[in-house]
Amino acid sequence: MSDTRFVNQRAVGTSVLPDEAIPLVEGDGRFLNDIKLAGMYHVAFLRSQHAHARILSIDTSKAKTLSGVIKVITGKDILGKVEPFRSMPNRFSGGESVQHWLAVEKVRFCGEAICAVVAEDRATAEDAVELIEVEYDPLPAVTDPREGEKDDAPRVHDTVTNNYLIKREYQRGEPAKAFADAHLVIKRQFRIHRKQALCLEGRGVVAAWREGSFPLTLWISHQLPYVVRHYIALHLGLAENDVRIIAPHTGGGFGQKASIYPEEFLCAHLALTLRRPVKWVEDRFENMVASTHARDQYIEVEVAFDKDGRILALGSDIWVDVGAYSTYLWSAGMEPLQTGGLMPGPYKVPAMRYRTRGVATNKTPVGPYRAVGRPSASASLELVLDEAARKLSIDPAELRMRNLIPMEAMPYRNANNLVHDNVNYVPCLKLASAKAGYEKLRAEQKELLSQGKMRGIGISCFAELTGLGTTTAVGPGTLLQPGRDAVTLRLETTGVLTIAAALPSQGQRIMTAMRQVACDELGIKLEDITSMSNDTSMAPYGFGTFASRTAVFGSGAVIQAAKELRRRILALGAFLLEVPVEQLTIANSEIQTLDRSKSLSLRAMAERSFFTAKGIPDELNKGFEVTSFYDPKHGSFAGGAHIVAVDIDTDTGQVSITRYIAAEDIGTIINPAVVEGQIIGGIAQGVGEALMEELIYDEEGQPRTVTLADYLIPSAIDIPNVELHHASTPSHALGGFKGCGEGSIIGAVGAIACAVVDAMSRRGGDLHEFPATPERVLRGLGVVT
């Protein structure tokens, strides 16, 4: 058999237009809220108005009598009928939280669901919610993790002492000695507030009883269909094969739709008990208070340097306000453990220690969100590097260059026990500096400063571990090792190829990427390949889309499966064309002899193999459907360097970004335009994180940012034009791919934070609290107190 491929142009590496986007641009997308089934009921939730309170009584009598109301249920009604969410076991667990789908006895955050109303339409359900009367006995609320960990603090859960849902101490090397012997030790505090993913489409579900072939079908706006299927079966006492999960078009995920929440599971329970389809769609208020939040860290970081600015040791103390419950599936460990563990980023750190805690508070639970932990970890370290550079009179870019892990040192095991290999940290920084005209940028800055203007320049180098195989847990400390995923390739009888996987896209164009890879591997024309990635009834097992893994897993599995499918196609082709298999290849959807003297279309072969198989030996006609599981074993580090210039308005404290240069190594690029969109999109969320986005709570745990008028995300006038460059090197994974969905937000937060502080430091100011809102900037400059 020949591996020669007569493909004139490889699809991988080309900005193939994504057919999957056509329905979206034509208005035919089918998002969750667009689904309408006959006889469908609608659900609305009554949510807690208190951060922490005992529920004394619930009176649903008026709500039940409202015309159009079908059912009103409370937490007590489902006790013992469904399994509540207990914290996922975590090696670093401090104590267990139990989250009922509807609050029982106590509410623990504003927005926690207490009652569900089922009605003929949503408006009626919401009217009925207004008629429910709840008597509360308010309790003192925990609203700050450093207060909450004290012995005399109120407890969010009776069983969780000091409110520690997570606690870990880590040490490697001899940090104490390094700090004692250091030429310079820099200590800084870094505080970043709460934010959220803010998917433009909220969560939602349509749960249907006996719709089609399955007892229970769930359309759910979610990133992990099979995981939902597994847990819905577990919690409702069903068999997995009783359940079909479909993720329709999904209006953003970013990790927020990778957790399991009570509302969707409750709707499944309602569909089963009412034997009717039910729908719940989160409105924006609900999304602000009942979908997971992110970040919210206090970090104290200290770094020991030698006289040349080389890092000798890194230490940190971290408090994360993880909210009221351990986020189901991922545990409360996401932000606390990744902030501590991943702080070294792309830098050589010979010794490190950290103490990190995830402290329960009476706020919305914190869950996974784009680049969990790392933006804060990275920014706090980068700000230290800048301060060291100032103290040692070394240029910040040069200081970073001295500390980056160079390719020649790889594979390199860092003090956090992660191995870096095949990643261009140094070339990324060099490329970004060259494209930025770094020295000129500094000269301009000097000139502007002399004119009394405030210009700052920030640099951030980052590492992102992507495409994690089975040897690395995605949820640190948990048993979750989602390191395998599968695709099924099926050559249909018309000769077109179907790729099926459970790797839904929230805009990442996963289906297009897999088509491109399959096109190259199989010689099948792009227009002859379709892909479906959102339906458990069609797809082989898979964990889904999160942790910058999907393109790596989907593509790797396509490559593996294609190898076997190609073998089968060529073997039958050889029989039908009566030529030795060594003389055959597949190109342009045809089996061809290498000299192109004979050919057979895949359609003709596929039709023959199915409809007129007489005479074909069985061993050549085993079916043209191949499923392959792919496990890259290890993860692949992606990385990059961002350089940012900002101007600060000295009167208003407003920060504006004047230049943004990014150089990234994301491995072999499948679709450059898609990748560009991922990276720039990540930067935009980083701009929000560094400068604008903040979920504000008052001291009683009341959320103050519950609409998009209160919670600001970047608009088109807030985001700079990003100058994006690539310094790619292939990974060890099949195809050389790395993930690229998350990394850029890490670089953005670090680089912008450094640029702001760089500008402020020229006026004797400093900033330890982010986002860098105008008010904080003016305070940091001493202009206001």
Partner 1 sequence: MAREQRIEVTVNGRRYEKTVPVRLSLADFIRDHLDLTGTHLGCEHGVCGACTVMLDGRTARSCLTLAVQADGAEIVTIEGLRSEDGKRHIVQDAFFENFALQCGYCTPGMLMTTIELLQDTPNPSEAEIREALSGNLCRCSGYQAIIKAVQVAAEKMQK
DSSP reduced 3-state for 603: helix
Closest CA to 349 of 396, 300, 304, 415: 415
21 vs 783 by CB, closer to partner 1:
21
Count how many Cα atoms sit within 13 Å of the Cα of residue 108 in the half-sphere of its side chain: 24
Rounded to a whole number of angstroms, the minimum distance from the CB of residue 722 to partner 1 is 6
- CA distance linking residue 241 with residue 541, whole number of Å: 12
Rg from Cα positions in the chain: 28
The tokens for 676 are 């560009």
Pairing of strands 352-360, 164-172: antiparallel
- CA distance linking residue 478 with residue 473, whole number of Å: 7
Rounded to a whole number of angstroms, the minimum distance from the CB of residue 18 to partner 1 is 8
CA distances from 750 to 244, 303, 457, 755, 770 (A): 42, 16, 11, 9, 11
Burial 725-741 (b: 16+ CB within 10 A, else e): bbbbbebbbbbbbbbbb
Rounded to a whole number of angstroms, the minimum distance from the CB of residue 121 to partner 1 is 8
Rounded to a whole number of angstroms, the minimum distance from the CB of residue 256 to partner 1 is 11
572 vs 722 by CB, closer to partner 1:
722
718 vs 769 by CB, closer to partner 1:
718
Q: Burial of 494 by CB count in 10 Å (0-12 exposed, 13-18 middle, 19+ buried)?
A: exposed
Residue with tokens 């190594």: 665
607 vs 676 by CB, closer to partner 1:
676
Rounded to a whole number of angstroms, the minimum distance from the CB of residue 546 to partner 1 is 15
135 vs 527 by CB, closer to partner 1:
527
- CA distance linking residue 571 with residue 585, whole number of Å: 10
Closest CA to 337 of 417, 274, 222, 395: 417
Rounded to a whole number of angstroms, the minimum distance from the CB of residue 313 to partner 1 is 37
- CA distance linking residue 432 with residue 437, whole number of Å: 8
Rounded to a whole number of angstroms, the minimum distance from the CB of residue 325 to partner 1 is 25
Rounded to a whole number of angstroms, the minimum distance from the CB of residue 707 to partner 1 is 5
Non-local CB neighbours of 778 within 8 Å, separated by 6+ positions: 652, 653, 784
425 vs 660 by CB, closer to partner 1:
660
Closest CA to 733 of 634, 664, 627: 634
Nearest 5°: phi and psi at 504?
-65, 150
Helix H, strand E, coil C: the string for 273-294 is HHCCCEEEECCHHHHHHHCCEE
56 vs 123 by CB, closer to partner 1:
123
17 vs 784 by CB, closer to partner 1:
17
Contact 662, 724 (CB under 8 A): yes
- CA distance linking residue 754 with residue 378, whole number of Å: 11
30 vs 413 by CB, closer to partner 1:
30
26 vs 578 by CB, closer to partner 1:
26
Rounded to a whole number of angstroms, the minimum distance from the CB of residue 55 to partner 1 is 29
Strand partners, 561: none
Rounded to a whole number of angstroms, the minimum distance from the CB of residue 513 to partner 1 is 13
The tokens for 754 are 């450094």
Contact 294, 305 (CB under 8 A): no
Please, where are the H alpha helices in 27-99?
A: 61-65, 75-78
Rounded to a whole number of angstroms, the minimum distance from the CB of residue 689 to partner 1 is 12
Contact 375, 296 (CB under 8 A): no
31 vs 541 by CB, closer to partner 1:
31
Contact 660, 683 (CB under 8 A): yes
- CA distance linking residue 364 with residue 361, whole number of Å: 8
Rounded to a whole number of angstroms, the minimum distance from the CB of residue 397 to partner 1 is 25
154 vs 672 by CB, closer to partner 1:
672
- CA distance linking residue 680 with residue 150, whole number of Å: 42
The tokens for 343 are 């702080």
Which chain residues interact with partner 1 by CB under 8 A?
A: 15, 17-18, 21-22, 24-31, 33-34, 36, 123, 197-201, 249-252, 254, 283-284, 506-509, 673-674, 676-677, 680-685, 707-709, 713, 715-717, 719, 721-722
188 vs 195 by CB, closer to partner 1:
195
Rounded to a whole number of angstroms, the minimum distance from the CB of residue 637 to partner 1 is 23
Distance of CA 206 to the CA centre of its chain: 24
247 vs 570 by CB, closer to partner 1:
247
DSSP reduced 3-state for 401: helix
- CA distance linking residue 45 with residue 425, whole number of Å: 49
Strand partners, 628: 487
Rounded to a whole number of angstroms, the minimum distance from the CB of residue 29 to partner 1 is 5
**Please, what sign has the CA dihedral across residues 46, 48, 54, 56?**
negative
Pairing of strands 412-413, 419-420: antiparallel
DSSP reduced 3-state for 700: coil
Rounded to a whole number of angstroms, the minimum distance from the CB of residue 250 to partner 1 is 6
Closest CA to 712 of 692, 684, 698: 692
Contact 638, 739 (CB under 8 A): yes
Contact 137, 109 (CB under 8 A): no
163 vs 506 by CB, closer to partner 1:
506
204 vs 540 by CB, closer to partner 1:
204
222 vs 235 by CB, closer to partner 1:
222
Rounded to a whole number of angstroms, the minimum distance from the CB of residue 681 to partner 1 is 5
449 vs 526 by CB, closer to partner 1:
526
Rounded to a whole number of angstroms, the minimum distance from the CB of residue 298 to partner 1 is 27
CA distances from 164 to 313, 332, 450 (A): 27, 10, 50
Rounded to a whole number of angstroms, the minimum distance from the CB of residue 693 to partner 1 is 11
